Amino acid sequence: MLICKVLKPLVSTNRIADFQHKHLQVVLDGSTQKVAVDAVGAIPGDWVICVGSSAAREAAGSKSYPSDLTIVGIIDHWDPDAAKEMAAGNPAANPAKPPGGAG
Amino acid sequence: MLICKVLKPLVSTNRIADFQHKHLQVVLDGSTQKVAVDAVGAIPGDWVICVGSSAAREAAGSKSYPSDLTIVGIIDHWDPDAAKEMAAGNPAANPAKPPGGAG
Amino acid sequence: MLICKVLKPLVSTNRIADFQHKHLQVVLDGSTQKVAVDAVGAIPGDWVICVGSSAAREAAGSKSYPSDLTIVGIIDHWDPDAAKEMAAGNPAANPAKPPGGAG
Amino acid sequence: MLICKVLKPLVSTNRIADFQHKHLQVVLDGSTQKVAVDAVGAIPGDWVICVGSSAAREAAGSKSYPSDLTIVGIIDHWDPDAAKEMAAGNPAANPAKPPGGAG
Amino acid sequence: MLICKVLKPLVSTNRIADFQHKHLQVVLDGSTQKVAVDAVGAIPGDWVICVGSSAAREAAGSKSYPSDLTIVGIIDHWDPDAAKEMAAGNPAANPAKPPGGAG
């Protein structure tokens, strides 16, 4: 699943009927903007988990829903700067092992 | 789903029978040109939502249609320049929170 | 779907039985070489439409055929240089709106 | 499948019911952080095999589980530096053919 | 399908039961190392065809096998340097049209 930031709702009046009235959100995946079906009620600024592939369909509500990217969860706490340091291999930035913490 | 710009129709006379007579459009995904089956009647210049993965098949009309990218909606308003600024983290470019607006 | 150029046939004597005797082509996707099952009889130099994801299986002939990239159509006319200019946003390169043309 | 490093567990209280209570891990795929469902009980620092596409669903426990990335195995020994040298084509870094070894 | 080079077998003792005892190979896809299920008996150094997406499952032996990358064929002859020249558009490197050859 992808870690994305919600930017804003997307309005598309002319769309296929199968999309129904579910909310669409513009999300930021790295530096690329994508559109995700919102299954959890996220708001702009939220860091969310987006599922893709065929799993996005069932996550959006039914096996026949035509989504390839669905917001399936809101991350409780996400620090993008710390995440970048962890990705760069800086162990001091790892919140999974805080001094005296339970992880 | 991807946010793409429609460039032009694509003509392919020699193609598999399963493609039927549905319209194909050349779309721009970032800087890459791809081909999408058009399920909404888009025209060159439109900014559209394209769905991929297995969902593209049903979005094109039936579970057995051989598409991996289908245009499923036309975006009402899309400002690519503002979008770039939002992707770069410039909050002033965020139309989701206009001054005094309801988002 | 991807817009690829056919480079040459690929010979793989030791392959799984499910591949049967269908022709495999080396195609160029941007600057990456991939292998596609040929469902239309393309020849080296042709610009073709390649479908991926689960749709590649049925496009190759049956739901159980193990392909993830299948050539489904030969593009009638493709000018890669004009395509690059269109991707770069040069409207003069857009053949969809020729002066006085019908598109 | 991808070779990823487990960074830390991910907490998402507000998530779709289909996710159940399975553990989610933030994993590092190259320099990109992704979220994977953990099917083997990995801990931060482990190098793991992650499966994507539709196979991620069954790997997570059932055909209807909405995962597109599932940790399916912990790699016994993984030296990321040696791996980089192998990727760069340095045969001396190939542990598959150690002098006098059994491979 | 991808054109990959087999680097070495991968040992993962702690893995999900669905993986059974099939051989896993570390393969090089461009400059990225991935893990593929081996359905043809490849050895390090072989250039192979790897199938992804949902087709990887059936190619690995059954529809429920959790693979997203399966080695489905060994390429008879592959010259990576000539391939790079072909990708760069050098016709002299195209073995599909040798002087006086039949292609």
Contact D49/E15, CB-based, under 8 Å?
yes
Of the candidates B2, B41, B58, which has its C-beta nearest A64's C-beta? Answer: B58
Task: Give the three-class secondary structure for D23.
Answer: coil
Of the candidates E55, E74, E87, which has its C-beta nearest C28's C-beta? Answer: E87
Q: What is the pLDDT of residues C5-49, one digit of tens each?
A: 999 999 999 999 999 889 999 999 999 999 999 999 999 999 999
What is the identity of the amino acid at C23? H
Q: Indicate which of B27, B74, B75 best probes the interface with A, i.e. most A CBs within 10 Å of its own CB.
A: B75
Residue E89's pLDDT is what? 72
Q: Region B58-65: what's the mean pLDDT?
A: 93
Q: Which chains are adjacent to chain E, needing at least 3 Cβ pairs under 8 Å?
A: C, D
Residue A81's pLDDT is what? 83
Q: What is the pLDDT of residues C72-103, one digit of tens each?
A: 999 999 998 888 787 777 655 444 444 443 33
Q: Which chains are adjacent to chain B, needing at least 3 Cβ pairs under 8 Å?
A: A, C
pLDDT band at B99; cut points 50, 70, 90: very low
Three-state helix/strand/coil letters over chain A: CEEEEEEEECCCCEECHHHCCCCEEEEEECCEEEEEEECCCCCCCCEEEEEECCHHHHHCCCCCCCCCEEEEEECCCCCHHHHHHHHCCCHHHCCCCCCCCCC
Residue B37's pLDDT is what? 98
Contact D49/E24, CB-based, under 8 Å?
yes
Residue D91's pLDDT is what? 53
Q: What is the pLDDT of residues B14-57, one digit of tens each?
A: 999 999 889 999 999 999 999 999 999 999 999 999 999 999 99
Which tokens go with D101?
A: 């070894």
Residue B90's pLDDT is what? 67
Cβ(A22)–Cβ(A37) below 8 Å: yes
ipTM of the complex: 0.85
Residue of chain B minimizing CA distance to A70: B1
Q: Is B95 exposed, middle or buried (0-12, 13-18, 19+ CB in 10 A)?
A: middle
pLDDT band at A101; cut points 50, 70, 90: very low
Of the candidates C53, C54, C68, which has its C-beta nearest E1's C-beta? Answer: C68
Q: What is the pLDDT of residues A54-98, one digit of tens each?
A: 999 999 999 999 999 999 999 999 988 888 787 777 655 444 444
Question: Strand A24-29 to strand A47-52: parallel, antiparallel, or no bridges (unpaired)?
Answer: unpaired
Residue E23's pLDDT is what? 95
- Is the pLDDT at B95 greater than 70? The verdict is no
pLDDT band at E101; cut points 50, 70, 90: very low
Distance (Å, whole) CA E60 – CA E24: 11
- Is the pLDDT at E95 greater than 90? The verdict is no
Decide: pTM greater than 0.90.
no
CA atoms within a 13 Å half-sphere pointing along the CA-CB vector of E43: 2
Whether chain C has a CB inside 8 Å of the CB on E52: the answer is yes
Q: Region E25-44: what's the mean pLDDT?
A: 97
Residues 6 or more apart from E101 whose CB is under 8 A from it? none
Whether chain A has a CB inside 8 Å of the CB on B60: the answer is no
Of the candidates E73, E94, E97, which has its C-beta nearest C16's C-beta? Answer: E73
| Percent of all residues in chain D with a pLDDT value above 70, rounded to a whole number | 86
Q: What is the pLDDT of residues E46-68, one digit of tens each?
A: 999 999 999 999 999 999 999 99
Contact A73/D16, CB-based, under 8 Å?
yes
Q: Which domains does chain B have, with CATH numbers?
A: 2-93 (2.40.50.220)
What is the identity of the amino acid at B98? P
Contact C18/E74, CB-based, under 8 Å?
no
Whether chain A has a CB inside 8 Å of the CB on B75: the answer is yes
- Is the pLDDT at D92 greater than 60? The verdict is no
Residue C52's pLDDT is what? 98
Which tokens go with E58?
A: 């059936």
Strand partners, B2: A34, B50
Residue of chain A minimizing CA distance to B76: A12
Residue A85's pLDDT is what? 82
Whether chain E has a CB inside 8 Å of the CB on C41: the answer is no
Which tokens go with B45?
A: 């210049």
- Is the pLDDT at D99 greater than 80? The verdict is no
Q: What is the pLDDT of residues A5-38, one digit of tens each?
A: 999 999 999 999 999 889 999 999 999 999 999 9
| Percent of all residues in chain D with a pLDDT value above 90, rounded to a whole number | 71
Cβ(B16)–Cβ(C40) below 8 Å: yes
Residue C3's pLDDT is what? 98
Residue B42's pLDDT is what? 98
